[in-house]
Amino acid sequence: MDVELLKEMARHQAWADGEHWKAMHANPPLLEDEEIRKRLLHMVQASEMLQMLARGETPDLARMKDREPPADLEAAMAKAHEGLAATLGSADPDKIVRMPRGPNGPFEAPAGVLLLQALMHSQHHRGQNASRMRVLGVTPPLTDFIIWYAKGKPQAGARAVTG
């Protein structure tokens, strides 16, 4: 697994999520939309869980699922970005991690694959949020990786951490 590429993707993710937050702040009804908020919370929780697994920790899935959503989802997402950057800097991407469940039961995967999943999973849900923005009458920001690259790989906003 190419850790430098994963780090680059993580920097893009922090920037792209920051662009979505800018759009949501510019259009306050988006911040109150239940679908968007549920997805943002899910993005944070999934990233945290995958990071923990990649570090060799055992997440308490029941506790994670039942905890109260953070009052400040934007700060929670920035913290997840910070954690991902730190995990990418310290985890062994080749370390095999036992996963408790999968489509055919338990399985094993390298930590690098779990971190790639954390990135791809958020990208998927960011796309869903962009579609929801359109339904609600807001043009979402362009956040494709190639757009970020063409803009000179801008850093994330003040709240997001890019590592």
Domain CATH code at residue 95: 1.20.120
Would residue 144 count as lying in a domain? yes
Range of the domain at 67: 3-150
Would residue 96 count as lying in a domain? yes
Would residue 93 count as lying in a domain? yes
17-75 pLDDT, tens digit per residue, is 999 999 999 999 999 999 999 999 999 999 999 999 999 998 877 676 667 778 899 99
Would residue 159 count as lying in a domain? no
Would residue 58 count as lying in a domain? yes
Number of domains in the chain: 1
Cβ contact 52:58 at 8 Å: yes
Backbone torsions φ then ψ of 110, nearest 5 degrees = -65, 150
Would residue 134 count as lying in a domain? yes
* Mean pLDDT, residues 77-95: 96
Confidence band (pLDDT; 50, 70, 90) for 163?
A: very low
Would residue 126 count as lying in a domain? yes
**Which residues in 30-56 are b (16+ Cβ under 10 Å) and which e?**
beebeebbebbbebbbbbbbbbbbbbe
> How many C-beta neighbours within 10 Å does residue 157 have?
16
* Mean pLDDT, residues 127-137: 98
Tell me the percentage of the chain whose pLDDT exceeds 70: 93
Would residue 78 count as lying in a domain? yes
- End-to-end distance of the chain based on CA atoms, in angstroms? 18
Tokens of 63: 């506790």
pLDDT of amino acid 160: 45
| Mean pLDDT for the chain overall | 92
Which of 67, 49, 68 lies closest to 59 in space, CA to CA? 49
pLDDT of amino acid 158: 52
